[in-house]
Amino acid sequence: MHYNYHVFRDNNHCIAYVAINEKQSPEYSQIVWSTDGRKVLVIHRLSVHPEFQGKGIARKFIDFIEDFAIKNQYSCIRLDAYSENTAALRLYDRMGYQRLGQVFFPFRELPFYCYEKALV
């Protein structure tokens, strides 16, 4: 699977990372999405080093991804976030992502919430 990786650096240290592509997890077929999904960009990983959390870096990454998606004519962005990751859940809610359901992955006991944002 091909990923598009992006790294946010500070003084030559990696402080944040995101992986995006068009590959949706098979579990996503359980979700009733709000868009037709004709061209979907999926966020697979978004992480910020703990020392740099709370400084708006994740928001900047999301802004970058949304700009990238619009420029490349994606119809929407989809992702999942672990239900115990309250900071990520608040971020996606605040940035206009719609929570549409939940899925379970074999490596976690609790669900992941699935989000989508339609792009105009």
Domains annotated for the chain, with CATH where assigned, are: 4-118 (3.40.630.30)
Tell me the pLDDT tens digit for each residue of 27-49: 999 999 999 888 999 999 899 99
pLDDT at position 2 is 64
Arithmetic mean of pLDDT, 75-93? 97
CB within 8 Å of 33: residues ≥ 6 apart: 76, 78, 100, 116
Give the global pTM: 0.92
Arithmetic mean of pLDDT, 86-110? 95
Closest C-alpha to 92, from 43, 30, 26: 43
Arithmetic mean of pLDDT, 43-68? 94
Helical ranges in 29-56 per DSSP H? none
- Mean pLDDT over all residues of the chain? 93
Residue 1 has pLDDT above 60, yes or no: no
- pLDDT category of residue 3 using cuts at 50, 70 and 90: low
pLDDT at position 76 is 97
Percent of the residues in the chain that have a pLDDT greater than 90, as a whole number: 84
In Å, how far are 36, 37, 108 from 118, measured between CA atoms? 10, 9, 28
pLDDT at position 73 is 95
